[in-house]
Chain A
């Protein structure tokens, strides 16, 4: 894991730009995760201090939302939808396939550090179930074959 001291200026800058915004904790957490890929636990001290909250309060919010993570993700994060529509369209099989292909469970990262796998509940893309996202891209009608092709593409891109 990276030394927090090198990430601290980024965190402080994000805190600074959101200083005046009411209800700024979630935007700040998103900002940090978008920039660093995760929220370093050491950043909680700075976030709490800046927002006049306790560290416990900030931790409570981070741990409440599964989207936020406190460890670095792989190069690409795959999120598989587990909501009703996707489940009805074979989403479960896709989940099992993905786990097997990647050799990891949800909330884990492959040993080569390329992929992290996360569940998600509804991407609003139900008409094209089952859906996944890879990083910020939403992809519909994902069959196991299509999933393998996507993996190869992203691996190749690496």
Chain B
């Protein structure tokens, strides 16, 4: 159902540049050629009754409610399927049309329950509106004939119900599943009177191929597909546009409210990243925000073996400040640091790094991007001059060849994944480089990879260089582009390097496991197939040579001229909602806001004068260095906002060891997460619904986050950081996040033109936004590279030190799944567990057979770092020799096994390659048992906390 008070134009907008003028009900109307008569009328403010048409879907012409008369044309054409023509004269209302429409409405209503007053869609029902519009007053057929009123309701999906008795079989849900989401999980079963909407093979929704994106619910004009939250609470009364806090797509949503209660999240059709689409997380999985596990009172304790003590905000802040000051007095200025969050807003992240640089007086700030996209920052900055993706999401609709490397968009970035699939169904070619057969390879209807380079984990660089070898040696490079736009010397050197025989596909076929011919064909396709776009994810970055692969990808784009216009580019798919933003905001120990090095005195002076404090020119500690320093005793205090390093970071036993060594760990979060179990101070965080700010998505789009309810803990996150800073003696005095954004804009060239007023006016802005580009920059490097000339860099393959051996014969790689998000702190506290209630170990049938493992067996997974136990999932998605798991549940211990190997340039951990030994076992691992005891104990300390008023 479309949200309240929003115009539905009935059919999609036409992108034609030509205009057509026609007359509708005596009014002259000028619209784009190719528009439907229905849309032209709607644009002129004339509403034609309709049921099967909605502007997110192609016209279908099945309900016949929108018939009109066209002068000189025979009969009564459907306005949704009739294109406008110059000089056309259309009549939308007359007695004849009224009579036809009433007749149609009469038929619909003769087989519809007459329970409008108690129906969940009452007041938000297009059938109700349309029947009202056409003035139906009686149903001559009576209600005793054959009907569908006794159809059984399907309540299997946790978030919405399907009530076929209310269905008018307009097929909007079926078409939404096909056209918008691209899953094709719905069909019409049977024909004629027996027609009914059927998930899969007439199965309950939960047993079908449905991925619960909500597109069908959105499209349904009646109460047939209905959010259970609306059934429970009634139709929302007001709404606010905000930005989803899950992945890096950054979908725009309407938070539809009843007072301070969030009833539903409806994707905003004006959202520039998502265009009205959503996934199961953003659309439905918001229940965590008011989950009973939320901690809303500050807590402190001297020792992590003590029970928590609830205290006032003032006491908690001064407790933390005193501890941190005490540590600095005893161990020196550099003995404390902080970690910013990719889930928090730009303003909050900016404030945390400011607190550390200005308040703590050192540069010991890092962020979780360290463990995901830091190589992107390094690689793209070194080659193009800017640490970000080059394109806007919509650019994919102009791509002819799409290469996906180490990313799984349909799971990780589902809304963008749907857009990509739409383009692929239109005929774009697809190359997938991934050790695993992700859904795009062959498990998405009507989409199939032309080439799947199923490489051995850890050999990305060899593959990317081999692709370059083919492009150069077969003369497929765009020399003109490279010579004009790039540094010629680096290009020449690079050509010589990649052309060396040891980089040929034939030479690396055995190493990579990819047949040479496949690599050659893929390279030829990318270089010569038209607009070539590369999308990549953590399968590229989380390696010992993560930065090298990013550089290799940038080289490919420059060498083929695939940069600087629509349809091409290099596009990192960012994991979390604000990874781009947290990196932009100066979260790295060596960089101020806008990626300027702390040793650059010109920049530093600017910040010193704005912040009124002397700043250190020495880069601070990275996260892994903080852990190492904690263990060797030189690092004693840590402030962590909205991150769960005790679950998400590699070699978790090492991380836990480091956290236990801290004298003061301050955790600011909405839940007592794994990290908080090691904390001395807990400061209640606010969810994205409880604060104002901005998130920046993977396409550099700064979108508004708007407060729709009072923070449960009483403060927005930025207020807490401000209080802590003041208590530490560094004054901050902001009254609204917009003032923080104004400060960011004043100090950062890429953000100079950004303000809340402008975001409100434009909906969102893609940086760089400054004097030259006041409306932002959808496509970067259009005229020239940010660094001037694009720089080619050499990509020598160096095998990871993590190798298989007779003791550890398999390679473990990690990833994620559609229904869960990152460490799962949010999604595990929603009904999404219905899709994924535990992490499983995926392995190939051959390996399973050799190891004597059956589906569902418990498997001990042992690496050089540790051991854990997971249940087996046998699947031919895997290649023999490679196993896979996700890390959404803390007790799975996926990161007990991962090692402390990391990217040479950025220390980004090598999550994607761990040599392991797998065997069938009977019980959980020693680590899991120990973790369970620790966790149970910590939860008991929380349960028995001393209340604030005692």
Contact = CB atoms under 8 A, between A and B. Distances in A.
A44 B201 contact: yes
A34 interface: no
Contacts of A44: 201
B592 interface: no
Contacts of A63: 187, 189-191, 198, 202
Interface in B407-458: 442, 445-448
Q: Which of B186, B201, B446 has the most CB of A within 10 A?
A: B201
B199 A56 contact: yes
A55 B209 CA distance: 8
A75 B191 CA distance: 27
A59 B448 contact: no
A56 to B, nearest CB: 4
A96 interface: no
A56 B189 CA distance: 9
Contact of A59 (B183, B200, B445, B447): B200
A56 B446 contact: no
Contacts of A56: 184-187, 198-201, 208-209
A17 interface: no
A124 interface: no
Nearest to A66: B191
Q: Which of B183, B199, B442, B445 has the most CB of A within 10 A?
A: B445
Chain B interface SS verdict (over half): loop
Interface in A42-87: 44, 48, 52-57, 59-60, 63-64
A41 B208 CA distance: 13
Interface size class of A (residues with CB under 8 A): 10 to 19
Nearest to B444: A52
B188 interface: yes
Chain A interface SS verdict (over half): helix
Contacts of A48: 445
A8 to B, nearest CB: 16
Contacts of A57: 184, 187, 445
Contacts of A41: 201
B187 A60 contact: yes
Contact of A54 (B184, B189, B202): B184
Contacts of A54: 183-185, 187, 200, 209, 445
Contacts of B447: 52
B198 A60 contact: yes
A52 B445 CA distance: 5
A78 B442 CA distance: 41
Interface in B129-186: 183-186
Contacts of A55: 200-201, 208-209
Contacts of A64: 188, 190-191
A53 B201 CA distance: 13
Contacts of B199: 56
A59 B189 contact: yes
Interface residues of B, number: 21
A63 B200 CA distance: 12
A86 B189 CA distance: 29
Nearest to A42: B201
Interface string B191-235: 100000011111000001100000000000000000000000000
A59 B191 contact: no
A59 B442 contact: no
A59 B187 contact: yes
Given A52-B442, A52-B445, A59 B184 contact: no
A60 B188 contact: yes
A41 B203 CA distance: 11
Contacts of B187: 54, 56-57, 59-60, 63
A84 to B, nearest CB: 18
Nearest to B445: A54
B209 A59 contact: no
A52 B188 contact: no
Contacts of A59: 187, 189, 198, 200-202
A78 to B, nearest CB: 22
Q: Which of A53, A54, A56, A64 has the most CB of B within 10 A?
A: A56
Contacts of B201: 41, 44, 55-56, 59
A52 B448 contact: yes
A44 B209 CA distance: 13
A129 B200 CA distance: 40
Interface in A66-114: none
A63 B189 CA distance: 6
B632 to A, nearest CB: 55
Interface in A10-56: 41, 44, 48, 52-56
B609 to A, nearest CB: 61
A55 B116 CA distance: 35
A44 B200 CA distance: 10
A52 B908 CA distance: 37
A135 to B, nearest CB: 25
Contact of A53 (B184, B186, B202, B208): B184
A55 B187 CA distance: 9
B195 to A, nearest CB: 9
A48 B448 CA distance: 13
Nearest to A52: B448
A67 to B, nearest CB: 12
Contacts of B442: 52
A148 to B, nearest CB: 32
A47 to B, nearest CB: 11
A63 B202 CA distance: 10
Contacts of B184: 53-54, 56-57
Nearest to B187: A60
Interface in B490-524: none
Interface string B739-756: 000000000000000000
A35 B792 CA distance: 61
A53 B191 contact: no
Nearest to A41: B201
B209 A53 contact: no
A63 B194 CA distance: 10
Nearest to A48: B445
A53 B445 CA distance: 5
Nearest to A55: B200
Contacts of B183: 54
A41 B198 CA distance: 14
A57 B445 CA distance: 9
Nearest to B183: A54
A64 B174 CA distance: 15
Q: Which of B187, B188, B199, B448 has the most CB of A within 10 A?
A: B187
Contacts of B446: 52-53
Nearest to A53: B445
A64 B188 CA distance: 8
A44 B447 CA distance: 18
Nearest to B182: A54
Nearest to A44: B201
A46 to B, nearest CB: 13
Nearest to A56: B187
Nearest to A51: B445
A56 B447 CA distance: 16
A41 B201 CA distance: 8
Nearest to B196: A63
Nearest to B202: A59
A131 to B, nearest CB: 24
A44 B203 CA distance: 13
A59 B492 CA distance: 57
A120 to B, nearest CB: 15
26 contacts: A48-B445, A52-B445, A52-B446, A53-B184, A54-B184, A54-B187, A54-B209, A54-B445, A55-B201, A55-B209, A56-B184, A56-B186, A56-B198, A56-B199, A56-B200, A56-B201, A56-B209, A57-B445, A59-B200, A60-B187, A63-B187, A63-B190, A63-B191, A63-B198, A63-B202, A64-B190
Given A54-B184, A59-B198, A59-B202, 11 more contacts: A48-B445, A52-B448, A53-B445, A55-B200, A56-B186, A56-B187, A56-B199, A56-B201, A56-B208, A59-B200, A59-B201
Q: Which 7 A-B pairs have the closest CB atoms?
A: A60-B187, A54-B184, A56-B187, A59-B201, A54-B445, A63-B189, A55-B200
